[in-house]
Amino acid sequence: HMIPRFDQLNEVLGAATGWTLVGVEGLLPELDFFDHLANRRFPVTWWIRRPDQIDYIAEPDLFHDLFGHVPLLMNPVFADYMAAYGRGGVKAHAIGPDALQNLTRLYWYTVEFGLINTADGLRIYGAGIVSSKGESLYSLESAAPNRIGFDLERIMRTRYRIDTFQKSYFVIDGFEQLMAATEPDFTPIYARLADAEHLPAGDVQDGDTVFQRGSGEGWADGGDV
């Protein structure tokens, strides 16, 4: 009902979980982004998309950052996960590009495009999904994508899509599961994954916990990153 004021939001957010919002013009350098998260500062893009762009826009804006990401920072467990991710990002940045790629995939398939299993069925928590009406419906209702149980190393090997709806979504049982997965030192994991095969975005692997094996209808060929 009004233009968001970061100073007012920071009073509420800071009291709840110790996070503050920082206004930025757009994407930050990776290390700057990780440093903000590690210190419980969330960068929020200050500009907002046009009405005709409401369902999808390639770059983050206020609609995505503030209304997509920030509400979950009121959840203490998720707030701790994001700070831990930031600390891990600083470390991965120092280790090298392969470690950074593994960690980026974890962010993509959880913070941006994660689903959570609840007593009422699958629900969305990923801000990348929430920012799109089309993908919100697709991620929960379409027969096309895979829905696979959360597995840390599996996710860190899995490519993803930046140009279409996701071919696979990973499902957590609760935010505590994310926190538990983030607590260990990732250095041995990066070493194990150094020579591991990168998995296509739409693959289902032996050993996966499959909530739904997707039909693949409408999937674009190629383009996994």
Residues involved in catalysis: 64, 69, 112, 131
Alpha-carbon torsion, ordered 86, 29, 36, 103, to 10 deg: -10
Beta strands in the chain (DSSP E): 20-24, 41-45, 115-118, 121-124, 146-149, 168-172, 210-212
Q: Cα(87)–Cα(43) distance, rounded to whole angstroms?
A: 15
Closest CA to 141 of 121, 170, 119: 121
| Cα–Cα distance for residue pair 186/98, rounded to 1 Å | 12
The residues near 141 (Cβ < 8 Å, ≥ 6 apart) are none
**Type of residue found at 160:** Y
The CA-based dihedral angle spanning residues 54, 60, 66, 70, taken in that order and rounded to the nearest 10 degrees:
120
Q: Do 154 and 172 contact (CB within 8 A), yes or no?
A: no
Q: Facing residues of 116 across strands? A: 123, 172
